[in-house]
Structure 1
């Protein structure tokens, strides 16, 4: 293996930063030196598994992606528990909170994001938590051990998982969702209603259309209740904020990198400084910011090849499907969440089995799907949508997945073959000759 004589410094030891390290090491000519700086005290871990950790279904070790020994074995310098405070672009150095000065040839910002905090009184009180890292999970576990009431702000995936984890640990939990339905970015109204009913049956108090007015103080700087703008007051021993994310773009912005909501990058994940790159939740490309792993993994592959000097096509946006498991309920969705007047809508609902499917077609081609419960056919639907397949001939079997569609196609092919045979046999002798 030939080493590229460059030093790549990665700020951020989250999932994106870790994925980039592994992708760099897999290149034909990896950098001769890789340094990773992580603000947290532990090596990279799978944040997607924070929910089962909070619920008590996993322990911390199950989340670890690579331990510190792995980095050492790979020749990667890993610095944990230190925060980069300043970038000195002209000197190509970073300065950490502990006073380290570290140079680089290429710098990668993989600083992730933090919870978006609603601008309401009391948001900084003790007992108000995010749900983004191991420290958050530990703090919420401690809250749950004391029992009482929890209020979760946000009815998306993260909020619902946090709510269910706290419920499983014995707390009385209310979920506040500003929109009229849960998971409004992924589900249609019917699927969202099914999910809300399921969670209510388990004991969660779901309040949709909720407008947060304030978080009340107990008089000692700690949360006591949550107040809505309609006057309702919900007792709260802890509050979890899971209402979106804010990119951690300040480091690059303060260094003068072009930024909007996040740090602007081109198709090779390069910022306005050619020696600095940004990746994942802290970057913005073509007007978009990121919160799901699939596009970030594609960014990693592009950036790793680019840093290793390989010729690589730039990153391009691609449609993606969302496969989720919310509190034991499987969901799969892509495309529009609601139908337009131009859509042909197919739907199926089996209440006893807890299955719901809704497909949106335009001119015989699939544009969107929502699957609740049985999601096995989801990837096949997505493939058909990506291929632009004309599904008009098998419309009546579409709701039941690829097996039924194929059976219909096979039957149609057999009917056509028989018709052709019959037509051939009935032709006059002169014509057949």
Structure 2
């Protein structure tokens, strides 16, 4: 059987490994990627900009990964069209690839604001290795930068730029505080304090009106809607991502908040599957249709898609899509699930700078926030995912005494803790 995978990131890599693990070496696998480099971790790109990691250290798999698995890799080549009725993929260089089963793992692209000057040299995103290289090259040439966005992407970029030695970094936030979708006020304030102590400035309730270019066409400043102008030779936009679903849509496939897939990762196109940031999923807690934009989910979906492509029917369980974690200096934060619910318990210890917020829906733990110290986060997450009664553990959980939570309860269903268990 001929398998073609479009995309060489988390979902694509996981699919390759699963196809070989479950299907052996008798199948032909081709991976097509528009990036010329091997697979790497997008989550570690800020560390690369900060000078804390190297390109080699952020590789997802060794350079010989595909050769060792007998997989054909077409790198630096874009797919321009799908022909599902012919079961062919059309490449930008005119070549056509035939397939029996196709996996679309095209990821997502950064959202840029529709304002004048967004194409000016010096206005960047931080989504790809190309972006990280560009930022690293620009940092020594400028003295100040503006980061647009107060979410995790923007704050990670701001932290990285300060760690890289940039003198002045200002974050422009449209909302009245940071991380309004990921954290509550207390946890967000802890992150803000750490960033301010590192030298990052913040402007709240502000929007960008234009990016200003100098006489030579390079960025010199960022104009806000209130008339202020912030001098900057570099700007990073961190305002979310948009699923790369156009290939499926143009081929006649169903698209909503991303490529629509069924419980077996199949698109509406025959023998075409999809996984990763390009798809739409149903959130386990809310039941809402949302874009799947988590690195861990991409790996999970790649594995499930590959199993189903081989005919090993494995229904994909509704995922938990609200899961965020980050570290800013000495402050770690993790937020999972719902941040509001029937019963909310909080505890803050200013001496240890530790904060915990537990959100209960009846007996079950529906969400939580850990900030400062995040020890045992996996236990909290397992309880949220499983939906098991957890109210009786509330005092232990609020105190961070997760060792007191019975392992027998947490391990009763291994699939909740190990999404790969179907491979064994």
Q: Same fold (TM over 0.5)?
A: yes
Matches within 5 A, 1:235-246: 235-246=231-242
1:190 aligns with 2:192: no
- Relative to structure 1, the CA distance from residue 58 to residue 320 in structure 2 (aligned partners, 3 Å threshold; closer, same or farther) is same
Q: Is the 8 A contact 1:157 1:326 kept in 2?
A: no
Residue in 2 aligned with 1:213? 209
Distance in 2 between residues matched to 1:114 and 1:381, nearest whole Å: 31
Q: Report the 3-state secondary structure (helix = DSSP H, G, I; strand = E; otherwise coil) of the residue aligned with 1:310.
A: coil
Residue in 2 aligned with 1:291? 293
Q: Report the 3-state secondary structure (helix = DSSP H, G, I; strand = E; otherwise coil) of the residue aligned with 2:203.
A: strand
- Structure 2 residue corresponding to 1:132, chosen from 127, 133, 136: 127
Q: Is the 8 A contact 1:161 1:327 kept in 2?
A: no
Residue in 2 aligned with 1:21? 16
Distance in 2 between residues matched to 1:285 and 1:94, nearest whole Å: 25
Residue in 2 aligned with 1:351? 350
Structure 1 residue 403: Cα displacement: 5.6
Residue in 2 aligned with 1:371? 370
Q: Is the 8 A contact 1:54 1:141 kept in 2?
A: yes
Structure 1 residue 361: Cα displacement: 3.2
Q: Is the 8 A contact 1:151 1:236 kept in 2?
A: yes
Q: Report the 3-state secondary structure (helix = DSSP H, G, I; strand = E; otherwise coil) of the residue aligned with 1:323.
A: strand
Q: Report the 3-state secondary structure (helix = DSSP H, G, I; strand = E; otherwise coil) of the residue aligned with 2:335.
A: strand
- Structure 1 residue corresponding to 2:80, chosen from 82, 85, 89: 85
Per-residue displacement from partner, 1:1-57 (whole Å, max 9, x unpaired)? Answer: xxxxx1010111122211111111111456610000111111111111111111101
Distance in 2 between residues matched to 1:266 and 1:387, nearest whole Å: 23
Structure 1 residue 370: Cα displacement: 1.1
Distance in 2 between residues matched to 1:251 and 1:362, nearest whole Å: 40
1:361 aligns with 2:360: yes
Distance in 2 between residues matched to 1:124 and 1:192, nearest whole Å: 31
Residue in 1 aligned with 2:318? 316
Residue in 2 aligned with 1:165? 160
Residue in 2 aligned with 1:305? 307
Structure 1 residue 236: Cα displacement: 1.2
Distance in 1 between residues matched to 2:397 and 2:275, nearest whole Å: 39
Matches within 5 A, 1:143-182: 143-171=138-166, 172-182=168-178
Structure 1 residue 58: Cα displacement: 1.1
Residue in 2 aligned with 1:222? 218
Q: Is the 8 A contact 1:31 1:308 kept in 2?
A: no
Structure 1 residue 396: Cα displacement: 4.7
- Structure 1 residue corresponding to 2:262, chosen from 266, 282, 289: 266
Residue in 2 aligned with 1:335? 337
Per-residue displacement from partner, 1:329-379 (whole Å, max 9, x unpaired)? Answer: 211222322x45x42x33222223221122233545433221111111323
- Structure 1 residue corresponding to 2:2, chosen from 1, 4, 7: 7
Consecutive unaligned residues in structure 2, runs of 5 or more: 283-288, 407-424
- Relative to structure 1, the CA distance from residue 190 to residue 218 in structure 2 (aligned partners, 3 Å threshold; closer, same or farther) is same
- Relative to structure 1, the CA distance from residue 406 to residue 103 in structure 2 (aligned partners, 3 Å threshold; closer, same or farther) is closer
Q: Aligned residue pairs: how many? A: 398
- Which structure has the greater CA radius of gyration? 1
- Relative to structure 1, the CA distance from residue 313 to residue 363 in structure 2 (aligned partners, 3 Å threshold; closer, same or farther) is closer
Consecutive unaligned residues in structure 1, runs of 5 or more: 1-5, 408-433
Distance in 2 between residues matched to 1:405 and 1:204, nearest whole Å: 39
Q: Cα RMSD (Å) of the superposition?
A: 2.2
1:254 aligns with 2:250: yes
Q: Is the 8 A contact 1:154 1:243 kept in 2?
A: yes
Distance in 2 between residues matched to 1:241 and 1:52, nearest whole Å: 17
